[in-house]
Chains A and B, each alone.
Chain A
Amino acid sequence: MRLRSRRSVPPPADQRPSGPIPVLAVHRLVKTYGHGDAAVHALSGPFDAQGREQGVDLTIHQGDFVAVMGSSGSGKSTLMNILGCLDAPTSGRYLLDGIDVGGLDEHQLSLVRNRKIGFIFQSFNLVPRTTAVAQVELPLAYAGVKAAERRRRAMAALTLVGLADRADHRPNELSGGQQQRVAVARALVTAPAMLLADEPTGNLDSRSTDDVLAIVDRLNAAGRTVVLITHEDEVARHAKRVIRLVDGQIYEDVRQAPVDGPPPALLDPDDFASHTLHLHAVKANQIGAAR
């Protein structure tokens, strides 16, 4: 995979074209809404001398934990929708796990969403009136997994997020944090190539945020590739790599930890925790320090 580098910031060493096929590679990606004067350039990338959009280039490797940051309107949600195969780019290529997504029809896209991507949304997006375990089974059902196997894998995923005892609860019987953990279980149950989280902690209190992020950290430590979209520095701290988008361009691309290795939160947990901005954790630290 040879991609010409067009970033305003030099790419980190691990993104140079070499090694295995990246989980995700976008090349000259442009997304424009509307036409003519009313056009909104949600994703444009840098402009060349003639003022033409060069598009966004991005490569993410297996096991990475990437936080995409940016203020609202920066194009991060647009990027997330395209990466999640929910929306099609105006132009540019998108390779997911080696597959050119641009050439797929709707049925194939639904298969890709099912097998390759695990979604976690800001507003949880659980199916109403459905128990947690059925929720988690749903992607497996769409994948055609048999009932017994489905139940086993769903329970395993729920156990992983610590909600095995809540398997029979419906969304309206679960707290926000629990709902989001069910959503995480649902996202990882198909063992997707990539977890795609769109502001997963945006609707959660700080304690639930820590719970959910701890799960994501553990999943990443176990080798799962994670792409997380956020505007909170506290959340971005967990990522191995932070990409900042400004006005539809990659403005900054910073590596916080190597791809092959645990995420920052698990690298040195005590040090990581001492820098938290979350009040309940801060208090705990202060108490710990006073002793």
Chain B
Amino acid sequence: MNPFQTLRFAFGGLAANKVRSGLTMLGILIGVAAVILLLAVGNGSSQAVKDAISALGTNALTVSSGAGSSTSTATSTKPLTVADARALADPTQAPDIKGVAPEVTTSQTALYQGTSHTVSSIVGTYPAYFEASNSKVTSGDYFSDDDVLNSRKVAVIGTTTATDLFGTDSPIGKVVTIGGTPFTIVGELASKGSGTGFQDPDDTIIAPLPTVQNAFTGFGSLNQILVEANSADATTNAQSEITTILMGQHGITSPTAVDFRVSSQTQLLSTRTSTNQTFTVLLGAVAAISLLVGGIGITNIMLVTVTERTREIGIRKAIGAPKSVILGQFLAESTLLSLVGGGLGVAAALIGAHFTIVGIKPVVIPESVYGAFGIAVAIGLFFGSYPASRAAGLRPIEALRHE
């Protein structure tokens, strides 16, 4: 009894009940496709987050006001000031810091020739911000340190804001009224893409710090300080330097009592990634359950098949089929079911992965394809083994008498 012969019998057995075999395969198909596709969606969303965060610059560190952690013993919180930023920019105390950009943020309505647009993020900062936040201008230029010193009313504009205000016209040189103050646009930023999902990073206007403070926020505290480390590897050193300097500035002695937070983009990245991983695992678990249900479907249908074909098994045994051949035949049938179902499931998942699902472009993980397919085949073997061993264990005389 060669394997080819066994396979032919298995095909014959499945072909005898096409609808039933088809539906059983559908169970496995859905399971495999769900596993691959849902993992791809999870992977796709974490990929999108990763891309968005690395677009913000991985060398960047953000210093913000407030207690570092819930265990912090800080009694009062001193706000971040421009003086703090200046202290951080001292190259002798902070050799790993390349640039420092204090930031104030506000939201205002911009007006241009009757067109109004609410800009979600108006940032007042220093030119170092552009490099630290990985923001590049595509046309025009950045504002300069001179513009900052002289509090000139100039601004660099994001693509979304530019499109909303000027349409297809170039924004360079045009004057926009923001919250009653006229600003001359000197540059337009490159698009950063869809971002992290909540806020459009391209809906922004960046202007010199004193100008924004003067016009909107006042000369009080900063929202945050953006610090650029020398390299991605230097972020850890830079972080400790920032902590040391700011503790001195704020007169704090205990590291557990700090009233500010230093977070790096890589930290943000790993937080987001781990959130995404949980999400992906959850999706995968749901899909795995559906694959398991498909496997139970195989057991069910194979048990029905064995009962239905008891007499045939009896005949085969009477003409000398050994136990192993009967076992092999039914195992081959169940494995074939899962093999074809799994194969079609992989095909369905790969086709499905070409479409955007709930705003996420799925990125298929190759391991999940091999894994899901392999598990499907293993499920066929495992869930088919009980019905098959029941068939093989039938006593010929009883099987022959079965009606």
Contact = CB atoms under 8 A, between A and B. Distances in A.
A144 B321 CA distance: 11
A139 B322 CA distance: 11
A40 interface: no
Contacts of B325: 142
Instruction: Report, nearest first, the 4 A-B pairs whose CB atoms are least far apart.
Output: A114-B320, A110-B322, A86-B397, A113-B320
Contact of A113 (B1, B5, B12, B319): B319
A126 to B, nearest CB: 7
B400 interface: yes
Interface of B: 1, 5, 12, 16, 311-312, 314-325, 395-397, 400
Nearest to A129: B16
Given A107-B323, A142-B325, A119 B318 contact: yes
Interface string A69-97: 00000000000010010110000000000
A106 interface: yes
B2 to A, nearest CB: 8
Interface string A176-209: 0000000000100010000000000000000000
A129 B319 contact: no
B312 A128 contact: yes
A170 to B, nearest CB: 11
A174 interface: no
B323 A127 contact: no
A54 interface: no
B322 A142 contact: yes
Contact of B320 (A81, A111, A128): A111
Contact of B322 (A111, A126, A127, A128): A111
Contacts of A113: 317-320, 396
Nearest to A139: B319
Contacts of B396: 86, 113
Contacts of A142: 1, 316, 319-322, 325
28 contacts: A81-B397, A86-B400, A106-B322, A110-B317, A110-B320, A110-B322, A110-B323, A111-B320, A112-B320, A114-B320, A114-B321, A119-B318, A121-B318, A121-B400, A125-B311, A125-B314, A125-B315, A126-B315, A127-B315, A127-B316, A129-B12, A129-B16, A130-B12, A139-B319, A141-B5, A142-B321, A142-B325, A143-B320
A115 interface: yes
A155 interface: no
Contacts of A141: 1, 5
Contacts of A84: 318
Interface string A136-170: 00110111100000000000000000000000000
Contacts of A186: 319
B316 A86 contact: no
